[in-house]
Homo-oligomer: A and B are copies of this chain.
């Protein structure tokens, strides 16, 4: 038995195909080992005492007789507290909640079902919003001739260091290397140039759901991976004004999603020139504050002007019969959003998911101590499950018998399920159940005596889900506002950043001064927020007149 256990715990093969220091892999190896050890513990428990089914059942019963709400004795905490090490907490949550795992190639990740279900939630909300604003989905080839990228000078300069290249196909060397798309502006324009003939073909409003690759140095699951999933919108318009309107419209779609679905109180604004997309005239962004106060760029919308149109000759005949270049936008949100949700709402116990995105909104846990009680309790929980399903609530009834209720409570708490319903025999006798909310710990978060009748029960749970959604947003907003510091001098900025906060102050500095801030403090200019507070009108760096405040912060 020991030999076979050892076989199961063989260290993960370190696969070549990495050219640089495997930052993520090496930092994660210990974590992986830890994860494997935990897994092995479970496996050993199973393996140690092979039991016939009867004995197993008895042992399960014993476990179920433990006090409600308590896990197995001696169960080790598997998640590092946030306060101790935020980065470690994040990796622990990603692993223990089975959101993602490491792929064999450095910097790649496998998105596991629970993590993918979160992404499906993001997709379904955004896809609906894109269609409501007149966009259609399409799909462009992933492999792009290298020469395409070279047509737009800024674009190739920005992306060249991060490209993956296909140089062999079907057993032969290719004449020209093909780029594995890092983004699709070039190939989209190659096609738009063929599709757009007259002003009648405009606006052209396209979106694509796809995978993209960027050969990143430092990676982290969801936040920055060699391959990620995203949507990329690409539009063409007759005028510069319409392109700008569209660019802002789609940023507002992202902002609305962030606030009202993901409960992320993002700050919307304009990027500085040096932080803008390679090839854009202007980039707009939604910036989110994570639990460690670092900024996360959670979505961007670019006004591309006619830069790509000129590079690819994307022109239309206007109503006067004159050839004109189109004006364009592009905009994207990626699986990084999942990382943002984790790091905005999580706590020491694990995930806290906003109800509108939670793959499981409500978990129902029956608590049966004696076989005699089983029938009545199971009838009750099945009734509750059916009532919630009928009301469109994403509900999971966990009636498995191989885990104690306490283990289940811990598990679903860690997985961030917003609402838990507990039903025991005494509850059934009284015609009630217990409803616990994830966002309030312990007894304070429990409501006793909630009726088992479908209508009041569903009403109670629905209202609770709405309240949790609102509370998560409010808490995140309060946290954000408490950690933005208005600064009047460079020293104040340094102090704020050193304290881990966001620094906001009037800015009219040069590109060089912006780079200086980064060099000195590792904070970058996150955006010029649309929502401008009152300010002195004098740049805290250059002393020049400043029309706007900018926000500086350390970021992911």
A467 to chain B, nearest CB (A): 29
- Tell whether, in the assembled complex, residue A313 and residue B7 are in contact, meaning their CB atoms are under 8 Å apart: yes
* Stretch of A41-49, A434-442, A537-545 contacting B (4+ beta carbons < 8 Å): A41-49
Residue A211 at the chain B interface, CB threshold 8 Å: yes
With A170-B161, A171-B160 as known contacts, state yes or no: A110 contacts B139, CB within 8 Å: yes
The one of B105, B111, B187, B317 that contacts A103, using a Cβ cutoff of 8 Å: B187
* Stretch of A189-197, A264-272, A479-487 contacting B (4+ beta carbons < 8 Å): A189-197
Q: Which of A8, A162, A169 has the most CB of B within 10 A?
A: A169
Residue A57 at the chain B interface, CB threshold 8 Å: no
Residue A73 at the chain B interface, CB threshold 8 Å: no
- Tell whether, in the assembled complex, residue A140 and residue B103 are in contact, meaning their CB atoms are under 8 Å apart: yes
Residue A177 at the chain B interface, CB threshold 8 Å: yes
Q: Which of A8, A144, A213 has the most CB of B within 10 A?
A: A8
* Nearest chain B residue, comparing its CB with the CB of A228: B139
* Nearest chain B residue, comparing its CB with the CB of A32: B194
- Tell whether, in the assembled complex, residue A165 and residue B164 are in contact, meaning their CB atoms are under 8 Å apart: no
With A16-B145, A165-B168 as known contacts, state yes or no: A320 contacts B113, CB within 8 Å: no
- Tell whether, in the assembled complex, residue B103 and residue A174 are in contact, meaning their CB atoms are under 8 Å apart: no
Main secondary structure of the interface of A (DSSP, over half): mixed
Residue A321 at the chain B interface, CB threshold 8 Å: yes
A299 to chain B, nearest CB (A): 20
- Tell whether, in the assembled complex, residue A227 and residue B142 are in contact, meaning their CB atoms are under 8 Å apart: yes
Give the interface size class of chain A.
35 or more
- Tell whether, in the assembled complex, residue B19 and residue A143 are in contact, meaning their CB atoms are under 8 Å apart: no
Residues of B within 8 A of A499 (CB): none
Question: Which residues of A from 53 to 78 have beta carbons under 8 Å from B?
Answer: 53
- Tell whether, in the assembled complex, residue A17 and residue B105 are in contact, meaning their CB atoms are under 8 Å apart: no
Residues of B within 8 A of A160 (CB): 171
Complex Cα distance, B187 from A103, in Å, reads 8
Question: Which residues of A from 172 to 193 have beta carbons under 8 Å from B?
Answer: 172-178, 180, 187, 190-191
Q: Which of A148, A170, A194 has the most CB of B within 10 A?
A: A170
The one of B36, B140, B198 that contacts A43, using a Cβ cutoff of 8 Å: B198
- Tell whether, in the assembled complex, residue A39 and residue B164 are in contact, meaning their CB atoms are under 8 Å apart: no
Question: Which residues of A from 75 to 127 have beta carbons under 8 Å from B?
Answer: 101, 103-105, 108-113, 116-117, 119-120
With A136-B113, A142-B211, A164-B143 as known contacts, state yes or no: A172 contacts B101, CB within 8 Å: no
Residue A390 at the chain B interface, CB threshold 8 Å: no
Residues of B within 8 A of A148 (CB): 104
Residue A370 at the chain B interface, CB threshold 8 Å: no
Residues of B within 8 A of A170 (CB): 19-20, 161-164, 215, 217
* Nearest chain B residue, comparing its CB with the CB of A17: B176
* Nearest chain B residue, comparing its CB with the CB of A46: B198
A190 to chain B, nearest CB (A): 6
- Tell whether, in the assembled complex, residue A105 and residue B178 are in contact, meaning their CB atoms are under 8 Å apart: yes
A151 to chain B, nearest CB (A): 11
A460 to chain B, nearest CB (A): 28
Residue A387 at the chain B interface, CB threshold 8 Å: no
Complex Cα distance, B514 from A203, in Å, reads 55
Complex Cα distance, B211 from A197, in Å, reads 30
Residue A12 at the chain B interface, CB threshold 8 Å: yes
Given A103-B187, A104-B187, A169-B215, 19 more pairs with CB closer than 8 A: A1-B321, A8-B315, A15-B147, A15-B176, A16-B176, A19-B170, A19-B173, A20-B170, A43-B317, A46-B317, A53-B319, A104-B141, A104-B145, A163-B169, A163-B171, A164-B178, A165-B167, A165-B168, A170-B217
**Which A residues are closer than 8 A to B by beta carbons?**
1, 4, 7-8, 12, 15-20, 36, 39-40, 42-43, 46-47, 50, 53, 101, 103-105, 108-113, 116-117, 119-120, 136-145, 147-148, 160-178, 180, 187, 190-191, 194-195, 197-198, 200, 206, 210-211, 213, 215, 217, 226-227, 229, 313, 315, 317, 319-321, 323, 402
